Chains A and B, each alone.
Chain A
Amino acid sequence: MTWLIFNLYVWQVLTAQHNVTFLWGTYQPGQYFGVKSRTTPATVAAGLLWHGPEHGIADARSECRQEDRIKKYGWTQHDGRHYGRQVINDAAQNVNLVTEYVRLRSEEEGYWGARILVHPDRQATDGVVDREVATKGKKAQSKKSEGLSGKDQRAVFLYVAIDCDGAVSASNCLENGAEGLDILIDRRKRSGAAFIRGKTSDLGDFTLEVGVTSLTATVDIQRDISGSGADGAKDTPPDSPPALSITYWGGANVLLADLKARLVGEARPAPPKGNRQAQHNRGKSSVLPDEIPANSNVVVLRVASSGSFQIDARLRPRTPQEREKGGDDDDDEPGSEDVAEIESLLDRTTRRGLEEFKERFASVFPLSQHGYRGRNFTSEEIEAAEAAFSNLIGGVGFFHGRTPIRGQFEWEEGGSGGTRVLDSFPTSLFSAVPSRSFFPRGFLWDEGFHQLILHKWDSELTYDVFLHWLSNMHAHEKCQDLGWIPREIALGEQARRRIPAEFLPQDVAVANPPSFLLTLEDMLTLSGASADQCEVKDEDGRRSQISSMSRQSDFLEAIQDRLERWVLWLLSSQRGEKLGSFRWRGRGDPKEKLMATTFASGLDDFPRASEPGPEERHVDLLCWIIKGCQILSQLAFERAAHSLGEAEKVQQKRGKKYATVAEELLGALDDLHWNETLGGYFDYGMHSEDGYIGETYPVRCGNPTSKTVTNVRVERSILMQWDDEGGEGETKICPPDFPTPLGMLSQEATLEYFRGPEIAAQHVPRRGYVTLFPLLLGLLPADSHRIRPLLDSLKDPAQLWSPYGIRSLSASDPFYHKENAPGKSSRSAD
């Protein structure tokens, strides 16, 4: 018991520190640009929407969506803490943006700053000012009246909100310690300055200071493209920059998830130019009404111009003295000096952020010393690597809310033992996401792979992500002792709306690969290597090494019990019928599918035994469990090495225990899955190997007496035979209740099925990622003869080798490239 309490204490200390370190960040990865505080239930969030000329608020971009067909976007530099820079090329709406985020390092400077540069598209993408565009730009400037009508303007909406997405009760959350937002704006709007002020119980009083500047065409575009200062920027003769239009709006009880819909309702039509024009502009304008009701929890500032412009913003705490002074004082009114101050702060901090990122990236990932195809990496390739890393770390998000959990909660009082869906406790997740557009939420087995990259850069971030995932083991009192972790976690309204309701609930019987343990293995190996290297020269270096080792030791202490519970849960809940075998629970319904899916494995439609059933044995799952036990053992020995007395003995015992389990299961791997004749490790189950993939067609049948009809599926061969007999023979295609064939339905609804005359318990020789697991989790000794056929399948172009990488399934397999049910092509349209 004391053991557990001590763990909890270390856990809390670590988390408390992380809550400070990671208080702010670009933690809304599903938005093109969204900053957020890591506070619950109320967060302070800020972000962007935009639209281009000839477009209106209804077309505005906000949530990352593939349908937007943004030509290119993503963080090109992001360090996960202090600095991020993203380039967005929205060619379809003729807008280019550069979004920069800076976490400020002292309270005087503020919490964070953001710089948004907005340009017409072609200038920035081509890297030179295209003559045609430049001329057009001049024309637009000379016709200012047209510019103000809004048609040729790019509009950016900067919002700040006290958001209660994910709170059990949004109104309680807003009332509790939060005060409505207000705005102070330069009334003549000449300086482009505005202050938006608010208060929450977690953060106290704060102000978002905003300064907007119109830019002359070329100067900043060069900075935008090269990202490295003003090389090659030529000062153009000072042209009077195009006018800026600034309007605003505030709303009360607005969920950020609803913001765009609300703005569509609030935007005013542009000033009419005759009736036809007014008709044309309806729904296309986006000018805001300059109104802020009391108790607003969101304020939106709209900036529009036909030319380029820059928005600088900084969020800072507001001191009690400032608050005392109140807001109606004329001295308080924002003006051009405020704009200049924020601009110079952001000039300085963004430059430093970019330089530090480049330097650190080159030192953590020394790519210039590497290459491929016999040459070194080019600078473009190194930039691609920076972008991959940056969009991953810049995609780390913070989510809060409840997640539905499905299970047979039999022990529930008065429960019938049937399956029920319960809402989890309010819970939080700090996690990277697989895709900002398509999967902007946490996925358990993806995260293990994400952290294989991120821990090399920021081990504290990895610790914190780990702790959050493991704390979701306690998502509900009905399952907190199980050791189960939800496979996919969508918290809050914004996340939930992106998934149909039936896919939300997470089943407490269903597992997911514990790939997190691979990260832990990497960290243990790395720290072992650095402890052996006693060449740290100076005192500072030594101190920082000791401190990071002690942090890691705290972290390992905090997670060990829960990791153990996780692996023990896998060992018990996914146990197969035969001792030493394991089976993924939750194989999908095979109805209307070519084969039942296995989402739990992460390899969704990879073909398994043709008849799902309790006798199945999944080789990939056994490999994950063996690996899990090996790493638990390694972890215990590592902790033993840093313990004394009784604690050391306890850890050594744990280490030995899991090493023994792993050894025994390695034996089971060979006994249950190895097939000497076929040469490989395979799944096992009730399976047809002489089966074939056939087609069924939908046919409509009728009952002439009752005048009712029904649709049935008919196998191709039977349909052909029926046709040969002219419909008059023995062969029937309609059921007795509906004996009259009325016709065939659309050809597109053809469904494939798999049927085998001989179904028997046997190995399932579907070669692909599943059969490689013993090799790819490093479970085989380097001299094992069983590696031979695995290597052969990797090298064989008829099986797994392709010139683009190793195939998930052998090209010779009957299921290769087979769709599981009718659908559109898998190739994305763009």
Chain B
Amino acid sequence: MIVGGEVWMLNFFLICCFPYCPLGDAPYWRGYVWINANYLILRSLWHLTRTVGPYQSEAKELYTRLRDALLRTILGQYQTTGYFWEQYSDVDGQGMRCHPFTGWTALVLNIMAEDF
């Protein structure tokens, strides 16, 4: 490089590059909605609703609300975009990262069938 008319040698360059993930190190498990974990949450709520205890009715209400929310998000995005997604935005419900992601997002089937 040239500084004030003189040639200076570049010693090293610190700024790193991100070859693996084209998305860089964007937030991944820092807020967005993942279906494998949501499936396990629903499953545990489902079991709480079927066991007599202090949380039974509260769990039932939360189970229904969460199941409705997930199905609206996943099925809605499938109708709009034609795909199942790796994760969904917790801000507006849009599908994010890669598609088609019919790995654990396919658990939408078990959620629909209430087969836990």
Identify the A interface with B (CB < 8 A): 66, 71-74, 89, 365-367, 370, 372-373, 377, 380-381, 384-385, 387-389, 391-392, 395, 432-439, 443, 446, 449-450, 452-453, 456, 499-500, 502-503, 592-594, 603-607, 698, 702, 706-713, 738, 742, 745, 749, 768-769, 772, 775-778, 782-783, 787-788, 791, 794-795, 802-811, 813, 815-828, 830
Q: Among the interface residues B58, B66, B100, which one has the most CB atoms of the partner chain A within 10 A?
A: B100
Chain B residue at minimal CB-CB distance from A449? B104
B74 → chain A closest CB, angstroms: 8
B80 → chain A closest CB, angstroms: 11
User: Knowing that A365-B112, A395-B102 are A-B contacts, what are 4 other residue pairs whose CB atoms are under 8 Å apart, sorted by A's residue number?
Assistant: A794-B62, A804-B33, A807-B31, A823-B21
Q: Is the CB–CB distance between B112 and A500 below 8 Å?
A: no
Interface residues of B in 28-81 (CB under 8 A from A): 28-41, 43-44, 47-48, 51-56, 58-59, 62, 66-73, 75, 78-79, 81
Q: Which of B55, B68, B73, B89 contacts A782 (CB 8 A)?
A: B55
Ranked nearest first, the 9 interchain pairs of A and B with the lowest CB-CB distance are A823-B24, A434-B103, A72-B82, A826-B26, A438-B98, A805-B33, A820-B25, A821-B25, A802-B90
Q: Is the CB–CB distance between B40 and A606 below 8 Å?
A: no
A449-B36, A811-B31 known; A805+B90 contact, CB < 8 A:
yes
CA distance A777 to B48 in the complex (A): 12
What residues of chain A lie closer than 8 Å to B59, measured between beta carbons?
791
A438-B98, A702-B8, A782-B53 known; A605+B29 contact, CB < 8 A:
yes
A607 → chain B closest CB, angstroms: 7
17 contacts between A and B (CB under 8 A): A72-B82, A74-B102, A89-B82, A365-B109, A370-B112, A373-B71, A384-B78, A384-B79, A388-B84, A453-B109, A769-B37, A782-B56, A783-B54, A803-B93, A804-B70, A808-B37, A819-B27
Chain A residue at minimal CB-CB distance from B32? A808
Q: Which of B3, B12, B22, B24 contacts A822 (CB 8 A)?
A: B24
A719 → chain B closest CB, angstroms: 16
What residues of chain A lie closer than 8 Å to B58, measured between beta carbons?
791
A681 → chain B closest CB, angstroms: 14
CA distance A192 to B59 in the complex (A): 63
What residues of chain B lie closer than 8 Å to A66, measured between beta carbons?
98-99
Chain A residue at minimal CB-CB distance from B37? A769
Q: Is the CB–CB distance between A73 and B100 below 8 Å?
A: yes
CA distance A709 to B81 in the complex (A): 50
A362 → chain B closest CB, angstroms: 11
Q: Is the CB–CB distance between A456 and B82 below 8 Å?
A: no
Q: Is the CB–CB distance between B114 and A370 below 8 Å?
A: yes
Q: Is the CB–CB distance between B102 and A391 below 8 Å?
A: yes
Interface residues of B in 85-116 (CB under 8 A from A): 86, 88-110, 112-115
Q: Is the CB–CB distance between B37 and A435 below 8 Å?
A: no
Q: Is the CB–CB distance between B55 and A791 below 8 Å?
A: yes
Q: Which of B1, B54, B105, B106 contacts A709 (CB 8 A)?
A: B1
A365-B109, A392-B106, A395-B102 known; A827+B94 contact, CB < 8 A:
yes
Q: Is the CB–CB distance between A824 and B15 below 8 Å?
A: no
Chain B residue at minimal CB-CB distance from A597? B25
Q: Which of B47, B53, B79, B83 contacts A380 (CB 8 A)?
A: B79
CA distance A711 to B100 in the complex (A): 41
Q: Is the CB–CB distance between A453 and B86 below 8 Å?
A: no
The total of Cβ contacts below 8 Å across the A-B interface reads 292
CA distance A499 to B22 in the complex (A): 12
A709-B1, A711-B13 known; A805+B79 contact, CB < 8 A:
no
What residues of chain B lie closer than 8 Å to A777, measured between beta carbons?
40, 44
CA distance A713 to B16 in the complex (A): 12
B42 → chain A closest CB, angstroms: 9
Q: Among the interface residues A366, A391, A604, which one has the most CB atoms of the partner chain B within 10 A?
A: A391
What residues of chain B lie closer than 8 Å to A450, measured between beta carbons?
103-104, 106
Q: Is the CB–CB distance between B44 and A392 below 8 Å?
A: no
What residues of chain A lie closer than 8 Å to B71, measured between beta carbons?
372-373
What residues of chain B lie closer than 8 Å to A795, measured between beta carbons?
62
CA distance A377 to B93 in the complex (A): 20
A822-B24, A824-B24 known; A713+B14 contact, CB < 8 A:
yes
Q: Is the CB–CB distance between B40 and A776 below 8 Å?
A: yes
Chain B residue at minimal CB-CB distance from A769? B37
B56 → chain A closest CB, angstroms: 8
Q: Is the CB–CB distance between A808 and B100 below 8 Å?
A: no
Q: Is the CB–CB distance between B99 and A828 below 8 Å?
A: yes
Q: Among the interface residues B8, B58, B62, which one has the most CB atoms of the partner chain A within 10 A?
A: B8
B64 → chain A closest CB, angstroms: 8
Q: Is the CB–CB distance between A827 and B86 below 8 Å?
A: no
What residues of chain B lie closer than 8 Å to A830, measured between beta carbons?
81
CA distance A391 to B33 in the complex (A): 21
What residues of chain B lie closer than 8 Å to A380, measured between beta carbons?
79
B43 → chain A closest CB, angstroms: 7
Q: Is the CB–CB distance between B98 and A828 below 8 Å?
A: yes
Q: Is the CB–CB distance between B14 and A433 below 8 Å?
A: no
Q: Is the CB–CB distance between A769 and B29 below 8 Å?
A: yes
Q: Is the CB–CB distance between B30 and A815 below 8 Å?
A: yes
Chain A residue at minimal CB-CB distance from B26? A826
CA distance A813 to B29 in the complex (A): 12
Q: Is the CB–CB distance between A825 and B26 below 8 Å?
A: yes
Q: Is the CB–CB distance between B24 and A821 below 8 Å?
A: yes
A780 → chain B closest CB, angstroms: 9
What residues of chain A lie closer than 8 Å to B15, measured between beta carbons?
698, 711, 745, 749
Q: Is the CB–CB distance between A819 and B26 below 8 Å?
A: yes
Q: Is the CB–CB distance between B25 and A453 below 8 Å?
A: no
Q: Is the CB–CB distance between B103 and A392 below 8 Å?
A: yes
CA distance A370 to B55 in the complex (A): 24
Q: Which of A384, A810, A824 contacts B23 (CB 8 A)?
A: A824
Q: Is the CB–CB distance between A707 and B7 below 8 Å?
A: yes
What residues of chain A lie closer than 8 Å to B55, measured between beta carbons?
782, 787-788, 791
What residues of chain A lie closer than 8 Å to B29, measured between beta carbons?
603-606, 768-769, 808-809
CA distance A459 to B75 in the complex (A): 27
Chain B residue at minimal CB-CB distance from A377? B112
Q: Is the CB–CB distance between A742 and B3 below 8 Å?
A: yes
Q: Is the CB–CB distance between A817 and B31 below 8 Å?
A: yes
A14 → chain B closest CB, angstroms: 25
What residues of chain A lie closer than 8 Å to B32, measured between beta carbons?
807-808, 826
A158 → chain B closest CB, angstroms: 23
A714 → chain B closest CB, angstroms: 11
A494 → chain B closest CB, angstroms: 18
A391-B106, A782-B48, A827-B96 known; A434+B101 contact, CB < 8 A:
yes
CA distance A827 to B23 in the complex (A): 9
CA distance A709 to B31 in the complex (A): 40
B32 → chain A closest CB, angstroms: 6
A710-B12, A777-B40, A803-B69 known; A392+B102 contact, CB < 8 A:
yes
Q: Which of B37, B47, B56, B97 contacts A826 (CB 8 A)?
A: B97
